[in-house]
Amino acid sequence: MTFARMWSDLLPVGRAGDGGYRRFAWSAEDQVLREWFAGEASVRGLDLVTDRAGNQWAWWGAPDATPGVVTGSHLDSVPGGGAFDGPLGVISAFAALDLLRERGIQPARPLGIANFVDEEGARFGVACAGSRLITGALDADRARGLRDADGGTLADALSRAGRDPSALGRDDEALRRIASFVELHVEQGRGLVHTGDAVGVGRMIWPHGRWRVELRGEANHAGTTPLADRRDPMLDLAGLLRRVRVAAVQAGALATVGKLQVDPNGVNAIPSRVTAWLDVRAESESAVHGVLAALADYAPDQDSWTPVTMFDADLADTVADALGGSPRLSTGAGHDAGILAAAGIPTAMIFVRNPSGISHAPAEDAEEADCLAGVDALAAALERLLA
């Protein structure tokens, strides 16, 4: 069947020996994924449109006359990511469109399928860059100057991928075409395991932010500097790592140090500096602030902040009704759906059960039966919205 065929098309792209994926925006792997998307649009006779940021849109019907219902997700990954985060939403979108056509549905509105570029921000550091650019939440000049780990800019990467960096910017034409957006996504927790449901409907995205902590020391020779004369930032790091966990438990928040940079990072050198990146999220903004207050001694520097995002209540009700009533879930993960919601577009999310709750890792998984239930749910929701 088509769902399985699309899934096996994507499985080998950017896959490492340990099963983890590396599908960074505007990389060679990303180009393969973009061509795959264009191919799926083409075999279905959909019109392929690429917006100013490079997001791909496959349209059934003409969205310039009547704004359409859009579904989809992204195809890029974090380093060492799983197979489902992103691709499940894009494959399910095509599969749901196939179901609607098989059932002979004649939509009263256009249906669009989206592939948002650079949702993970794994290469250039800004998550949901594609949706942020077209909504104006990410400034085009700032975006062009973002650098990857090799020091190359996004502008260079766009040029090498055959795109014009000067085209970046808010895209009102793309936005006007979206009457509503429904993103299907693998759950990144075990909420649906606890309720016993294959699918659920999103309620809100937690407020979340990123901070950077610089721990300064004094570089010196590891073999000759007495312990009493050292200013070793690794000891401060030990304190910070413990304090982050304690603060998260006390505030009822999630707080993570997932990234470190040690300078100069030599085996026989006491470091001159350790930089730690801190990710904090919680159901309430006050809980996030509670974590930061407990870390004030470390003078954390804010890199990004996203307030709480509520999905559209009416749209969520419509989707939940189409699913025959289903649990509502909040999530700590950011999504393009959240960016569009913040830009005033009615937006909903459908989550598919994840047995382990693991995401952003090779063990990320979903049962095939649950994925197919997700396609059914998405098709049912789209049928109502297109009527």
For residues 320 and 79, what is the distance between their CA atoms, to the nearest angstrom? Answer: 33
Cβ proximity to its own copies: between 104 and 223 the closer is: 223
| 334 touches 205 (CB < 8 A) | yes
Q: How far is the CB of 72 from its own copies (least distance, A)?
A: 20
Q: How far is the CB of 28 from its own copies (least distance, A)?
A: 18
Q: How far is the CB of 51 from its own copies (least distance, A)?
A: 25
Q: How far is the CB of 97 from its own copies (least distance, A)?
A: 28
Q: How far is the CB of 41 from its own copies (least distance, A)?
A: 30
Binding site for its own copies (CB under 8 A): 20, 78-80, 122, 125, 127, 188-190, 206, 208, 210, 218-227, 229, 232, 234-235, 237-239, 241-242, 245, 248-249, 254, 256-260, 262-272, 277, 279, 281, 331-334, 357-363
Q: Which helix (H) or strand (E) holds 287?
A: helix 285-294
Q: How far is the CB of 234 from its own copies (least distance, A)?
A: 5
Cβ proximity to its own copies: between 78 and 143 the closer is: 78
Q: Which helix (H) or strand (E) holds 31?
A: helix 28-43
Cβ proximity to its own copies: between 122 and 378 the closer is: 122
For residues 219 and 272, what is the distance between their CA atoms, to the nearest angstrom? Answer: 4
**At which residue do the structure tokens 């055959």 appear?**
162
Query: Helix, strand, coil: what percent of the chain each, to 5?
Result: 35, 25, 40
Cβ proximity to its own copies: between 60 and 84 the closer is: 84
Cβ proximity to its own copies: between 105 and 262 the closer is: 262
Q: What are phi and psi of 214, to 5 degrees?
A: -105, 125
Name the nearest CA neighbour of 333 among 301, 309, 367, 297.
Answer: 309
For residues 24 and 282, what is the distance between their CA atoms, to the nearest angstrom? Answer: 27
Cβ proximity to its own copies: between 67 and 327 the closer is: 327
**Residues forming beta bridges with residue 240, ordered by sequence position:** none
Cβ proximity to its own copies: between 91 and 270 the closer is: 270
Cβ proximity to its own copies: between 106 and 224 the closer is: 224
Q: How far is the CB of 121 from its own copies (least distance, A)?
A: 8
Q: Which residues contact 149 (CB under 8 A, 6 or more apart)?
A: 123
**Residues forming beta bridges with residue 351, ordered by sequence position:** 185, 200
From residue 247, alpha-carbon distances to 11, 56, 207, 279, 301 in Å are 39, 41, 17, 13, 17
For residues 237 and 278, what is the distance between their CA atoms, to the nearest angstrom? Answer: 12
Q: How far is the CB of 253 from its own copies (least distance, A)?
A: 9
For residues 96 and 378, what is the distance between their CA atoms, to the nearest angstrom? Answer: 6
